[in-house]
Structure 1
Amino acid sequence: MKRKEIYFAGGCFWGTQHFFKQIEGVLETETGFANGHTDNPTYQEVYTDTTGFVETVKVVYDAELLDLSFLLDMFFHAIDPTMLNQQGHDVGTRYRTGVYYTDDNERAVISDFFHLKQQEYDLPIVTEIEKLQNYYPADEYHQDYLDKHPDGYCHLPVELFRFAKNAKMKK
C-alpha cells in the first residue's frame, strides 16, 4: 500500500466527504478548512467568509489502487467547476472549489487535467489549484456528517454517491 493525500474543496464539505468515502481505494477522509489566514479557525469563524478558509476534505488514498487523475475526474463529477464561490445553494468564498496538493510533482498532473477538462466547458474553470498552505480539521460535529445524519442537508444528489461507490479506475 502506498498512502498519498490530496485536498478537495467542493462546496459544503459534508457532501464532498461522503462522496469520496464511497470510492474504493480511498482510505480516509476528514473535513476541515484550508488555505486561510488565521490560526485554528472555528466553523463559525470560517462561515463569516472573513478568514480566507475554504471548506475542504482531506482524502488519503492508496496510490497503488487509484491515481490522482482518477480522483480528479471523480471530483469533477461532484462539482460545477465554472461556479465561483458557489456550489448548489451554498454561496460564499468558503464554498469555492479547489484542489490543494502537498507534493509539488502533482501540480503538473492537476494542471494538465484541468487543461484537458476545460475543453468540455464553454465557461472558464474557476476551480483553484494551489499548494496546501495550511489545514485545520473541523470539529467532530462535521466529521462524517452524512453518516451520522443520513437525511441531513447535502447539495449533492444521492445518485452521485451510488456512482462513486460503483466507480472503478481503468487499469
Structure 2
Amino acid sequence: MSPEGTENRQTYYLGGGCFWCLDAVYRKLRGVTSVVSGYMGGEAATANYRAVCGGTTGHAEVVAVTFDPEVIPSDVVLDVFIASHDPTSLNRQGYDVGTQYRSVMFYETEEEREVFETALRRHQEHFRSPIVTEVSRAPVFHEAEAIHQDYYEQNPGAGYCNVIINPKLSKVRRYYASWLVEAASH
C-alpha cells in the first residue's frame, strides 16, 4: 500500500547532461513532488561523483523526478526533458563531455518504455539530426552526494548556474510557463 497521497505518483529517471540542470528545471514545475540527483546505468556496484566523472563506472548523471500525473501530465514532464537538453548529442551536453552526460531515459515498466519511445518519436520532427537518447531498463539508482541536491538553489551565483542553467530555465519559462510553480501563484 502506498503512503497516503502518493498512490498516483510516478517517478521517471532521466539523464540529459549534468544533473544540476535537470534538477533546477524540474524543481520549478507544478506537480513535481520530488527531484533527486543520482547515478544510474553503470557496471560498478556503487557510484560517487568522483568515480562517475572519471568516466570509468559507466553511470550517467540522472534525476529521479517524482510527479503527480493528475497535476502535470507525463507528456509535459517528458517534453520539458527533451527541451532542456540536446537529445541529438551523443555523450555530451555543451561543455560536459563523457558517457556520464549521455541523454538517457530509464524505464521501470514496458508501459513506461512505450511512453518514452513515443515522446522521442513525437519530438524527432523538431530536430535535424537523429535523437540519440538511450531508452534502457532502470538499474539501481544511486543517490548523489548532498552537495549535488538542489545545487542551483544552493549556488545561484556560481558560474555554471549563470552560464549553463539560467538559459535552460529561461527556455522552460518561455515554453512551459503555465506549468511553473511561480505561474500558479499569480
CA shift for structure 1 position 165 = 6.9
- Greater share of residues in helix: 2
2: distance between equivalents of 1:115 and 1:160? 21
Partner of 1:160: 171
Unaligned stretches of 5+ residues in structure 1: none
Per-residue CA deviation, residues 124-162 of structure 1 (Å, 9 max, x unaligned), is 101111121121000101111111101221423141353
Contact 1:52-1:94 within 8 A present in 2 as well: yes
Give me the identity figure in percent: 34
CA shift for structure 1 position 164 = 7.3
What are the equivalent positions in structure 2 for 1:90-109 lying under 5 Å apart?
90-109=96-115
Q: Give the SS at the match of 1:39.
A: coil
Residue of structure 1 aligned with 2:21, choices 11, 15, 32: 15
Partner of 2:65: 59
1: distance between equivalents of 2:35 and 2:171? 17
CA shift for structure 1 position 30 = 0.4
2: distance between equivalents of 1:39 and 1:113? 31
Partner of 1:87: 93
Contact 1:22-1:165 within 8 A present in 2 as well: no
What TM-score results when the alignment is normalised by the length of structure 2? 0.85
- Counterpart amino acid of residue 67 in structure 2: Y
Q: Give the SS at the match of 2:15.
A: strand
2: distance between equivalents of 1:90 and 1:44? 15
* Gap change, CA 1:86 and 1:37, over 3 Å in 2: same
2: distance between equivalents of 1:19 and 1:118? 22
Between 1:50-59 and 1:117-126, the stretch displaced more is 117-126
2: distance between equivalents of 1:58 and 1:68? 14
* Gap change, CA 1:81 and 1:3, over 3 Å in 2: same
1: distance between equivalents of 2:149 and 2:176? 19
What are the equivalent positions in structure 2 for 1:15-164 lying under 5 Å apart?
15-152=21-158, 153-154=160-161, 155-156=164-165, 157=167, 158-160=169-171, 162-163=173-174
Q: Give the SS at the match of 1:124.
A: coil
Aligned residues: 169
Unaligned stretches of 5+ residues in structure 2: 181-186
Residue of structure 2 aligned with 1:4, choices 7, 10, 13: 10
